[in-house]
Amino acid sequence: MLTMASEKPILYSYFRSSCSWRVRIALALKGIAYDVVPVNLLKDGGQQLAIIHYLEDTCPNPRLLPQDLKKRAQVRMIADHIVSGIQPLQNLSVLKQMGEKKMEWAQNCIASGFQALEQTLEHTAGRYCVGDEVSMADLCLVPQVFNAERFKVDMGPYPTITRINKALLELEAFKVSHPSLQPDTPAELRA
């Protein structure tokens, strides 16, 4: 959750949350300083893509949605695919229900989602998910690839996803927002 009660926004964040990471990237890209209040998602809940839409509406530069309407629709389609079609299926609440099969479940869900995503990106990608400018889709992609790596998904079948992810991780906003650099990251997971 992001609150704007003071001059500086407050982000209620969990170091390894894909949702929180997307928001941290957006804030870094837009150059918005913020305070972090760590939240344990095992107890307190999560973030929404709506925060990034809010940031886009209130701080439009740099733009995270292209002006070109076709590209804008592509960005939204990719972002929605990741945040609705892949990421929720590997959330902690779902994985708890899978018991001993949770690793296999997560791998299968991610692989299935990445197969469709790879096909889409073959038509939309430039340097990034849609063309050569960072977009909302890219903010969704990087945390999802991180999760895929955590669940030991073979990334070999996804060369476009892998190439885009590598290019994005070279950008400062993606580096500073990385889970290993957050104040609530356990010491053993810090970079």
Is residue 164 within 8 Å of residue 142, measured between CB atoms?
no
On whether the pTM is more than 0.85, the answer is no
Scan for tokens 């701080």, then name that residue.
59
CATH (one of 1.10.3720.10, 2.60.120.1440, 1.20.1050.10, 3.40.50.300) for 69-174: 1.20.1050.10
pLDDT number for residue 146: 95
What is the DSSP secondary structure assignment for residue 5, as one 8-state letter? S
What distances in angstroms separate CA 95 from CA 35, 99, 101, one per listed residue?
30, 7, 8
Nearest CA among 139, 143, 144 for reference residue 112: 144
How does pLDDT run along the chain (191 residues), one tens digit per residue?
Answer: 666 655 788 888 888 788 888 888 999 999 999 888 888 765 545 456 788 888 899 888 999 999 999 999 999 999 999 998 998 887 878 888 889 999 999 999 999 999 999 999 999 999 999 999 999 999 999 999 999 999 999 999 999 999 999 999 999 999 999 988 888 888 887 86
Q: What pLDDT, on a 0 to 100 scale, did the predictor assign at position 52?
A: 87
pLDDT for position 12: 83
Domain boundaries defined on the chain: 2-62, 69-174
Residue 46: predicted pLDDT: 47
Give the model's pLDDT for residue 113: 97
**What is the CATH class of 2-62?**
alpha beta
Q: What is the pLDDT of residue 124?
A: 98
